[in-house]
Amino acid sequence: MKFPKDFLWGGAVAANQCEGAYNEDGKGISIQDVMPRGIKTPHTDLPTEDNMKLTGIDFYHRYPEDIKLFAEMGFKTFRTSIAWSRIFPQGDDAEANEKGLEFYDRLFDECHKYGIEPLVTLSHYETPLNLAKAYDGWVNRDLIGFYERYVRTVFARYKDKVKYWLTFNEINSVLHEPFMSGGIYTPKDQLSKQDLYQAIHHELVASALATKIGHEMMPKAKIGCMVLSMPTYPLSPNPDDVIAAMKADHMNYFFGDVHVRGKYPGYMKRYFRENHIELKQDKDDAEILKNTVDFVSFSYYMSVCETADEEKKIKGQGNIMGGVSNPYLPASEWGWQIDPQGMRYVLNVFWDRWQKTLFIVENGLGAVDELVDDGKGGKTVHDDYRIDYLKQHLLQVGEAISDGVPVMGYTTWGCIDVVSASTAELKKRYGFIYVDRNDDGSGTLKRYTKDSFFWYKNVIATDGEAL
Ligand code: BGP
């Protein structure tokens, strides 16, 4: 099958997982800098040497080489984030950090040199640490103002360089990772539902405000929300399981519902009532929420099952958002269940529900790779498992397009190996490009193309026909 001519093929990373240079050129400390390996809650207030994200893959200095490799694959777009703490080191500063702004000028210029359109996430799990500690992150309404100042600054600066923007990475993940996703310093087990949903409300208002401001400042820009999609199947045809699955999906869909419909859905009002949650709303909030997005973007890695039967609720190993394992599906080494048809399913569900163009901005397989001699004096990785994963998922994207779903693009996660978000390790690799860096800190940081590099290049060159 041929994908549309203007389909945005590409890859995705996030600043905190690849840039390194955590304290260069005036950057402030972000919440990621104080999360050592495997830790997703506040642990220490100081960056620790154990944290692979402090040096990342040194993208901050090596980006020209990396963008060149993306161009060689034929990327039409490259998704990355702006590290908020490079621009406003403490988050609540009055003035922006010029050196931080200059870095992204250079980065976006480099993309345009090859005709690659940047796709920029404004906030990708990298809240400035000060906003977490002094304000308890998004629980505090002041964050809306700080975020507004930040987005106004970057919109003004990059309005001629960036056309596609995403407001918050996987905004619904705050339900499960309040520190990493929402910069909420209060430990998860002490966080009340009231504060959690208040924080979510602030993020939703901030997202709609960014969309409004973006449209005013950049009439040609397209601004989208970004949700973690993890379709929930009922574990059995028992109606109790079907309703359990519906409710689990609601908790994720409601973020998209607000972004697309501009108001809270009825099932959430019920949830708030039944859980004694009373959102504090400013008089303009309802009006601001009406600034709806141009498109819906999402990550897709896996589906899960849900059941009403407490005894069967053995949590799926490694599933970030809870749920129960599906007996029909294999899993990755990290327990993420592999379900290519779930991609077609979720594309159809989202389109039916929202009637907004969709953008798959994350999908991929985290695996342990082995660097071997390529027989020509160099080194490579024979990652047929990754090729197979991506191929099966892309074929399902093709099926969804044939179903009539408008899909504007596809960016694989971690197009170059980056430090994992959930484990802060480099051994969980997603890239088409191998980075010689190991979790003990050793390695030359040299880049090597994997077999999947040439496979993806061919997929792009043939508009998907080579699949
Ligand atoms: C998503 C995040 C990414 C990314 C990806 C893979 O949830 O948006 O930042 O890292 O998952 O997850 P991991 O790195 O934990 O394998």
User: pLDDT for 312-325, tens place per residue?
Assistant: 776 544 445 668 88
pLDDT at 36: 79
Q: Which CATH class is domain 8-300+338-461?
A: alpha beta
Ligand 1 and 429: CB distance under 6 A: no
pLDDT at 210: 98
Question: Residue holding tokens 């908020």?
Answer: 84
11 with 450: CB under 8 angstroms? no
Token output for 185 = 């310093």
Ligand 1 and 55: CB distance under 6 A: no
User: pLDDT of 268-314, one tens digit each?
Assistant: 999 999 999 999 999 999 999 999 999 999 999 999 999 998 877 76
Question: Does 332 score more than 60 pLDDT?
Answer: yes
**Span from the CA of 375 to the centroid of ligand 1 (angstroms):** 33
Mean pLDDT over the full length of the chain: 95
Ligand 1 and 421: CB distance under 6 A: yes
Question: Does 1 score more than 60 pLDDT?
Answer: yes
pLDDT band at 338 (very low <50, low <70, confident <90, very high): very high
pLDDT at 320: 52
Atom of ligand 1 minimally distant from the CA of 420: 14
Q: What is the rounded distance in angstroms from the CA atom of residue 330 to the CA atom of residue 326?
A: 9
**Span from the CA of 421 to the centroid of ligand 1 (angstroms):** 5
pLDDT band at 402 (very low <50, low <70, confident <90, very high): very high
Atom of ligand 1 minimally distant from the CA of 14: 9
Atom of ligand 1 minimally distant from the CA of 423: 15
Is the complex ipTM higher than 0.90? yes
pLDDT at 318: 43
Q: Whose CA is nearest to atom 4 of ligand 1?
A: 421
Cα-to-chain-centroid distance, residue 290: 24
Print burial letters for 257-279: b (CB count within 10 Å at least 16), e (below 16): bbbbebebeeebeebbeeeebee
pLDDT band at 44 (very low <50, low <70, confident <90, very high): confident
Ligand 1 and 413: CB distance under 6 A: yes
Question: Does 247 score more than 70 pLDDT?
Answer: yes
Closest to 99 measured CA to CA, from 54, 60, 131: 60
Ligand 1 and 298: CB distance under 6 A: no
Atom of ligand 1 minimally distant from the CA of 125: 9
Print burial letters for 79-108: b (CB count within 10 Å at least 16), e (below 16): bbbbbbbbbbbbbbbeebbeebbebbeebb
User: pTM (2 decimals)?
Assistant: 0.97
Atom of ligand 1 minimally distant from the CA of 170: 8
Q: Which amino acid is located at 129 in the chain? A: L
Tell me the mean pLDDT in the region 355-372.
98
pLDDT at 314: 60
pLDDT at 317: 44
Question: Does 246 score more than 60 pLDDT?
Answer: yes
Q: What is the dihedral angle through the alpha carbons of 199, 203, 209, 213, rounded to the nearest 10 degrees?
A: 140
Closest to 356 measured CA to CA, from 403, 297, 299: 297
Q: Which of 98, 362, 370, 399 is the catalytic position?
A: 362
Q: Whose CA is nearest to atom 2 of ligand 1?
A: 421
Ligand 1 and 420: CB distance under 6 A: yes
Token output for 95 = 């003035």
Tell me the mean pLDDT in the region 141-157.
98
Cα-to-chain-centroid distance, residue 296: 12
Q: What is the rounded distance in angstroms from the CA atom of residue 207 to the CA atom of residue 224?
A: 9
User: pLDDT of 60-108, one tens digit each?
Assistant: 999 999 999 999 999 999 999 999 999 999 999 999 999 999 999 999 9
Q: Is 362 a catalytic residue?
A: yes
The backbone torsions φ and ψ at residue 363, rounded to the nearest 5 degrees and listed phi first, read -170, 140
Domains of the chain: which residue ranges? Answer: 8-300+338-461
Choosing from 321, 420, 426 the residue with most ligand 1 atoms within 8 A of its CB, the one to mutate for a pocket test is 420
Q: What is the rounded distance in angstroms from the CA atom of residue 398 to the CA atom of residue 260?
A: 24
Ligand 1 and 100: CB distance under 6 A: no
Ligand 1 and 123: CB distance under 6 A: no
Closest to 149 measured CA to CA, from 200, 106, 209, 198: 209
Tell me the mean pLDDT in the region 218-246.
97
**Span from the CA of 282 to the centroid of ligand 1 (angstroms):** 33
Share of the chain above pLDDT 90, in %: 90
Ligand 1 and 428: CB distance under 6 A: yes
Q: What is the rounded distance in angstroms from the CA atom of residue 239 to the CA atom of residue 244?
A: 8
Token output for 12 = 């995705």
**Span from the CA of 236 to the centroid of ligand 1 (angstroms):** 29
pLDDT at 321: 61
First to last CA, the chain: 8
pLDDT at 315: 52
Question: Residue holding tokens 């099932």?
Answer: 267
